[in-house]
């Protein structure tokens, strides 16, 4: 069932210093699949139009609204002023929550960092929450676009579930 967008259920993506244009394209395509409202490209993240992005995005870069901001901290502070919860997708021992146990609250902006270093401490400090994907194999990390796909699916499932709960409450009245 497709999700019907509501202002209170906004889902944004912030890409910080994503070096691979192919990853940027995959993030656009995945953001479209899971109903993200906008992508913010920050730092050195590549921007459309680029053939490497288009090759993987398959046109999603033309459908998902996006903006470029050189300074991610300024963007994050502005989004927070608008009441948007900032959530970092990052492994941060002692600070991050298991994605599968995270209680999603909207509106939110999910920050993704570049491989292999992830998000800088200064941006993590601006996040309202830090979530991580539990790893069960020998490798300790995932490709940024793959990690985004897992997190975006979780967010979309929670977005749909909370919308269903609202509809059920309304029907009972």
* Domain count of the fold of the chain: 1
Q: What is the pLDDT of residue 5?
A: 52
- Write out the DSSP string of 42-90: ETT---SS-HHHHHHHTTGGGTS-EEEES-HHHHHHHHHHTTPEEEEE-
Task: Count CB atoms within 10 A of the CB of residue 30.
Answer: 23
pTM: 0.90
Q: CATH number of the domain that 39 lies in?
A: 3.40.1280.10
| Residue 2 falls inside a structural domain | no
Q: Give percent above pLDDT 90 in the chain.
A: 80
Question: Can you give the residue range of the structural domain that contains 38?
Answer: 7-172
| Model confidence pLDDT, tens digit, residues 82-122 | 999 999 999 998 999 999 999 999 999 999 998 788 899 99
- Between helix 21-33 and helix 144-172 the angle, nearest 10°, is 10
- Residue 1 belongs to a domain: no
Structure confidence by residue, pLDDT tens digits, 137-161 = 988 889 999 999 999 999 999 998 7
- Evaluate whether residue 31 is within a structural domain: yes
Beta bridge partners of 108: 11, 85
Closest CA to 10 of 106, 78, 90: 106
In contact, 100 and 154? CB cutoff 8 Å: yes
Report d(CA 159, CA 6) in Å as an integer: 10
Is residue 66 a part of any domain in this protein?
yes
52 in Cβ contact with 25 (< 8 Å): yes
pLDDT band at 4 (very low <50, low <70, confident <90, very high): very low
At 3 the pLDDT is: 42
Per-residue pLDDT of 32-53, as tens digits, reads 999 999 999 999 999 999 999 9
> Which residue did the predictor score with more confidence, 79 or 165?
79
Does residue 51 form part of some domain?
Answer: yes
Cα–Cα distances in angstroms (integers) from residue 155 to residues 20, 56, 85, 94, 158, in the given order:
24, 22, 13, 22, 5
């Amino acid at each position: 069932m497709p999700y019907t967008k509501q202002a209170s259920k906004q889902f944004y993506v912030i890409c910080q210093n994503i070096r691979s244009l192919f990853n940027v394209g995959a993030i656009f395509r995945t953001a479209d699949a899971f109903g993200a409202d906008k992508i913010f490209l920050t730092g050195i993240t590549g921007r459309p139009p680029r053939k490497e992005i288009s090759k993987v995005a398959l046109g999603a870069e033309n459908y998902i609204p996006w903006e470029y901001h050189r300074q991610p901290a300024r963007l994050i502070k502005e989004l927070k002023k608008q009441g948007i919860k900032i959530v970092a997708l990052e492994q941060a021992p002692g600070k991050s929550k298991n994605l599968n146990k995270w209680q999603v609250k909207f509106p939110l902006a999910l920050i993704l960092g570049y491989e292999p270093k992830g998000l800088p401490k200064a941006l993590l400090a601006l996040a309202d929450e830090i979530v991580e994907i539990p790893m069960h194999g020998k490798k300790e990390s995932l490709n940024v676009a793959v990690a985004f796909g897992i997190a975006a699916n979780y967010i979309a499932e929670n977005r749909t579930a909370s919308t269903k709960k609202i509809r059920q409450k309304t029907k009972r009245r």
